Amino acid sequence: MTRPRPTAFVLLLAPCLLAGCGTLPGAGTDAVAPDTIAVGHVQGNGAQSPLLGQTVTIEGVVSQRAGSAGGWFVQDTGDGDEATSDAILVADSQTAAPIQPGDRVRVRGVVVEQAIGRASRTALEQTQIQKLGRGTLKAFAVADALPDWERLEGMTLRVDAPLLLADSGDLGKHGRVLASVGERLWQSTERAEPGSDAQRAVVADNARRQLWLEANDGTAAWPDGLAQARNGSRLDGVSGVLDQAQSGYRLQLDAMPTLHAAARPQPPQVPGDFRIAALNLENLFNGDGHGGGFPTPRGARTSAELTAQLAKHVATINGLDADIVALMELENDGYGRDSSIATLVDALNAQGGTWRFVDAGQGPGDNAIRVGLIYRSDRVRTQGRPATMEGGPFGPHSRAPMAQAFVPLKDGRVDGSTFVVVPNHFKSKGCSGAEGADRDQGDGAACWNATRTLSARVLASFLLANPTGYGRALTLLVGDFNAYARESPLRTLEDDGWRDAFAVAGVASPYSYVYDGQLGRLDHALLSPALAQRLRGAAEWHSNADEPDSAGYRAGGAGPWRSSDHDPLLLGFDLRGR
């Protein structure tokens, strides 16, 4: 047995697992055979079994067929050592058919370590099996997370701790979901600086909390509605056998859990007299703008999918009720009547809106996707032309930012202070093409961190030069920075004086993105000091990141849900009447 990483649960140890507590009555024998040893002695408490390669005899009760591992699991009464597992895999597919859960067996076999990714599973092979009758076992009750799952390998567990759905993306393809014990999982660099002891502590905490749940050969079904459930939904009545898998520990279920689906949140409300939102559109491409040109390089594959995608974005933007919306992942196809940004504005105005878009003439940048700005012309007016930043890291990697000055309106007249909004979309974390300092440094920041950090420095210099002509006193940087809160791009901007809007507003544990079941913020709102004084509230609408793929436009989901893989942000300011 190996310990690939610190993981596990606090256990309420049952005094006995088998009827008889140390004997196996029935089938013509009441005593344990003289050469029988406890399973815990076979498992040991080290990286591998201390009896590797030896032939041993164990006795116990069959708990469950082993599914894809082949064979079945046997659990005994224990060896009195909480650091060792009291169950083992009997890897014998030829004799598995006549063996059933609840059978008491005596097994003689060779101790092996089966490779499972970077870990291994202790098992018995080349076995001789004797059925001794029937028996019962009691599951260990799991009350909370502990640092070591390895000592429970192969054992039957009952999870009494809160078990939360972290990610259901593998349900349709692999028949499993990722869950977390006690609380949700967090991206380590959202909570701590990359490479720090604190960051590694978050990684360790995630490892001890996460658990794959997998139906075992059809013996345990999934509850209705699980494929449509939001992340954070609760699962009760979870029990099964703990086993190794390449992706981590898994619980092979022996009964159907009970699902308590998390409710969908209402659109957020923020105080203030002016609202600004930000939304990643997840590749809004509109074909040729006339219902043809599909499939597009990204986004909708058909005209019908585009219609559904637009309906979700319209529902999201209307729900936010913002005066200005900063956009990311918009097709970079100009500003004509057939452009994607014009198509979005037309869809919004079809319901009586007064939306317009900022026209930069071209781009910004020559990336396939770009940033953009739309605004309600009866509530706000543009001031001057937009300023864009291209060159350096912007263009080949990070998308070019765009700065636009605005002033609030009331009854068609200026009513407030001029301010500047700058949408951003930095280089993603994917490793394709990364070289040198942009390669994954193993500190939690993934690839292209050096380019994102350079993008932050260049962006700060760009704004210092007053590109709009209206100063930077009241300026908002907003968008998808593809960096979590404690990574160097965000710290670089904070060191330059920019303030995290969610910290200023006192929002606890914000998140806008879920990846591998872990929460974090790739989407940020940074304020100049003077604008931070005007902030009255900040919120995320968790309408997307926690939703399953089945809620999206490709699967026919209705409403604003899963309009993107990022949650939209909403900020409230006092900007009028000054």
**Which one, of 22, 566, 130, 117, lies nearest residue 326 by Cα?**
566
Domain carrying residue 470: 274-573
Q: Residue 278: which CATH number?
A: 3.60.10.10
Q: Which residues contact 248 (CB under 8 A, 6 or more apart)?
A: 7, 207, 210, 211, 212
Same domain, 373 and 404: yes
**Residue 8 placed within a domain:** no
Same domain, 319 and 433: yes
Same domain, 199 and 280: no
Query: Which amino acid makes up residue 113?
Result: E
Same domain, 215 and 75: no
Q: Residue 114: which CATH number?
A: 2.40.50.140
**Which one, of 380, 414, 290, lies nearest residue 343 by Cα?**
290
Distance of alpha carbon 161 from alpha carbon 9, whole angstroms: 9
**Which one, of 428, 452, 450, 427, lies nearest residue 437 by Cα?**
450
**Residue 248 placed within a domain:** yes
Same domain, 293 and 244: no
Same domain, 75 and 112: yes
**Residue 401 placed within a domain:** yes
Q: Residue 202: which CATH number?
A: 2.40.50
**Residue 150 placed within a domain:** no
**Residue 269 placed within a domain:** no
**Residue 267 placed within a domain:** no
Out of 260, 289, 320, pick the residue that ends a domain.
260
Per-residue pLDDT tens digits of the chain, which is 578 residues long? 444 433 333 333 333 333 333 333 333 344 556 789 999 999 998 878 999 999 999 999 999 988 766 789 999 999 999 999 999 999 875 655 588 999 999 999 999 999 988 888 999 999 999 999 999 998 999 998 877 888 899 999 999 999 999 999 999 888 899 999 999 999 999 999 999 999 999 999 999 999 999 987 655 679 999 999 999 999 999 999 999 888 889 999 999 999 999 999 999 999 999 999 999 999 999 999 999 999 999 999 999 999 999 999 999 999 999 999 999 999 999 999 999 999 999 999 998 899 999 999 999 999 999 999 999 999 999 999 999 999 999 988 999 999 999 999 999 999 999 999 999 999 999 999 999 999 999 999 999 999 999 999 999 999 999 999 999 999 999 999 999 999 999 999 999 999 999 999 999 999 999 999 999 999 999 999 999 999 999 999 999 999 999 999 999 999 999 999 999 999 999 999 86
Same domain, 342 and 239: no
> Number of structural domains, the chain?
3
**Residue 116 placed within a domain:** yes
Same domain, 381 and 493: yes
**Which one, of 539, 546, 548, 532, lies nearest residue 509 by Cα?**
539
Region at 406 (left for phi over 0; alpha for psi -120 to 50; beta for the rest): beta
**Residue 539 placed within a domain:** yes
Q: Give the β-pairing of 8-12 and 140-149.
A: antiparallel
Out of 237, 260, 283, pick the residue that ends a domain.
260
- The CA R_g of the chain, rounded to the nearest whole Å, is 29
Distance of alpha carbon 428 from alpha carbon 432, whole angstroms: 10
Same domain, 295 and 413: yes
Same domain, 21 and 73: yes
Out of 225, 260, 295, pick the residue that ends a domain.
260
Same domain, 186 and 220: yes
Distance of alpha carbon 357 from alpha carbon 372, whole angstroms: 8
Same domain, 130 and 163: no
